[in-house]
Structure 1
Amino acid sequence: MAVELAAFGRFVGDWRVQNALYNESTRQWSESALLWTFDWIIAGRGIQDVLVDEAGTALGTTVRTWDERAGWRVVWFCPRAAEHVVLTAHDLGDRIELAGVQADGRPVKWIFSAILADRFTWDGWCSNDDGETWWHEQHMEAQRLTR
């Protein structure tokens, strides 16, 4: 189980994030700086993160738990935007791929890539046609601050 927990365990600590978010309605990208903090929960059987904006306001949280029968189960909550996403995750070594469904029923896929000890990239994709096509919704470049 230690190997499986390392998939997300390697992110434990604080990260400075350059965030780019696409607004589907306006078709515009906006940029912001965020703090992304990951930590162990449930006696080391899970990882929770919290995303915070520059003003110190929590934007949302993700809870990831390891289930020996099903693998990684992941849930993202953003009450301010009424977002709730349920996903599963697969560690592919140099990247982690997550697939799931938003509260509105649209499929999403999230990808952690270019993972190194001090940095990683995260991209979020959404589909409006049940996965036939995908549009890039969010891009984050993370740089480690602490372990």
Structure 2
Amino acid sequence: MDTIHHLDDGTIEKWDGECYFGWVLQGRAIQDIWIRPKRPAPSTMYGTTLRIFDPEIDGWHIIWNDPLNRDQSRQIGRAEGKDIVQLGNDSRGLKTRWRFTEITANSFHWIGEERSSESDSWKITYEHLARRTKP
């Protein structure tokens, strides 16, 4: 994957990385692993997400954890048209919106946004452009 980090001053940083997705817990959940190696922290990332579907809310309970950077987030994810949108809060107390867009069988565009209150507008912080390299 290619990562774009949007900094507060309007500049961007770019890195490459890897992500892996698979069914776990006998098909009851999806786990993904995100890796951005060989960068000075906090740009280095080794994290995992567990996504568990809940038919009562017609959505997914999502738990993200990056132990290296002591970053975690809880969200609820649902389909919105052709996209998947996850809403929640991170370990700093900021509201988060993570969107999977432009989803195909071999690629997706992930957009990470945050805001400090309901009255603030969403600010893009990260983007991941992922593509399948192995079937």
- Give structure 1 regions of 4+ aligned residues with deviation exceeding 6 angstroms: none
Matched, 1:129 2:112: no
**Contiguous gaps of at least 5 residues in structure 2:** 39-43
Match of 2:91 among 83, 103, 109: 103
Match of 1:67 among 39, 51, 54: 54
The 1-side partners of 2:55 and 2:30 are apart by 15
Aligned positions, number: 129
- Pick 1 or 2: higher relative contact order, CA cutoff 8 A, min separation 6: 1
The 1-side partners of 2:126 and 2:110 are apart by 8
User: Identity of aligned pairs, percent?
Assistant: 24
The 2-side partners of 1:100 and 1:140 are apart by 19
The 2-side partners of 1:78 and 1:130 are apart by 26
The 2-side partners of 1:128 and 1:68 are apart by 30
- Which amino acid in the other structure matches residue 74 of structure 2? V
Match of 1:83 among 32, 56, 71: 71
Q: CA deviation at 1:93?
A: 4.4
Whether contact under 8 Å (1:107, 1:131) holds in the other structure is no
Q: What is the TM-score with the length of structure 2 in the denominator?
A: 0.86
Structure with a larger share of its residues in helix: 1
The 2-side partners of 1:74 and 1:81 are apart by 18
Q: Tell me which residue corresponds to 1:43.
A: 26
Whether contact under 8 Å (2:107, 2:132) holds in the other structure is yes
The 2-side partners of 1:28 and 1:85 are apart by 25
